[in-house]
Amino acid sequence: MGLGGYLTWTAAFRELKEKKLEKEVKILPCEVHGNQITKIVKDQVFDNNPYVYNESTDQGLKVFALPLNLYETNYCRKDTPTRAYHRYDKHIIEQICEHYGIEDPDLKCELYFTNEERRRVDKILTQNNVPSDFVIVEPQTKDSYTVNKSYPFVKWQNIVNQLTKKGICVVQIGQKTKDKNLQNVINLTGMTSFREAACIISRSKLLISAEGGLMHAANAVDTKSVILYTGFISPVMTGYRNNVNLWIGEKHGPCGMKTTCDKCKQEVESHDEDEVVKVVMREMHG
């Protein structure tokens, strides 16, 4: 499970804690096989979460062991080398909560930053002369699982060029790479942890990205996003209602294809990136 997947679980933690569990009970994220807990799941997105059991501060409290690997709460019903068969009728958070009898959960992820993390982010922004008004662009996608979520890099560059001409300051975050560095941006790639990147997103006016982990992080920090969806996946399953979800591949998706999908490729290549620029300008200026 990736960081975005773990972030959707933070919404379920809150819903369970507030609607189903006793006040003094803390949640223990885990994996189970048979009737045995085989792994306690510790992840950076769970750090400082008040609903999650902390072995340093919560000793003696009751815990609710919450398996993260149950088939019943897994949005991927079948995963083959060539295709993922997802459940698309509800958002991931709704699917998890459904298993625990919780209806209409708030589709809101949770992140809790430390003062030290905030100070490090302040330092990064100051050292790189990032102004108070800026948008975030993340052109990278995780291609190791599927190649069909990516949007052409040349189009990302065209989007940035048009935004900067219109006076919008663009900041790029994400992993450091040799071939995915945009021009005309303040480049912060490779300078932050995932949590620090999320904290930077919290200072921005907007996140512009393909569907992925930072989209869930933006939701957690109350920053609106413009998200590009290919035909691989449906916005119903991972999208947030306050975002602008541009489903490029709606005509044929969701296909769930992990190997190259010619339809996904054709749709992103034929998509007019000016649509993204228009949406961003509308969101920035009303």
Res 34: pLDDT? 85
Res 17: pLDDT? 96
Q: Tens digit of pLDDT per residue, the chain (286 long)?
A: 689 999 999 999 999 999 999 989 999 999 999 889 999 999 999 999 999 999 999 998 999 999 999 999 999 999 999 999 999 999 999 999 999 999 999 999 999 999 999 999 999 999 999 999 999 999 998 888 999 999 999 999 999 999 999 999 999 999 888 778 999 999 999 999 999 999 999 999 999 999 999 999 999 999 999 999 999 999 999 999 999 999 999 999 999 999 999 999 999 999 999 999 999 999 998 7
Domain segments of the chain as ranges: 3-99, 127-285
Dihedral-angle region of residue 34 (phi above 0 means left; psi in -120 to 50 means alpha; beta otherwise) = left
Pairing of strands 206-210, 186-187: unpaired
Helix (H, G, I), strand (E, B) or coil at 209: strand
Sheet of strand 36-40, all strands in order from the earlier edge strand to the far edge: 36-40, 26-33, 63-67
> Which two tokens mark 225?
């996003």
- Interhelix angle 194-203/213-220, rounded to 10 degrees, is 50
Question: How far, in Å, CA of 235 to CA of 246, rounded?
Answer: 9
Res 143: pLDDT? 85
Q: Of all residues in the chain, what percent are helix, strand and coil, respectively (each to 5)?
A: 35, 20, 45
Spelled out in words, what is the top-level CATH class assigned to the domain 127-285? alpha beta
pTM of the model: 0.95
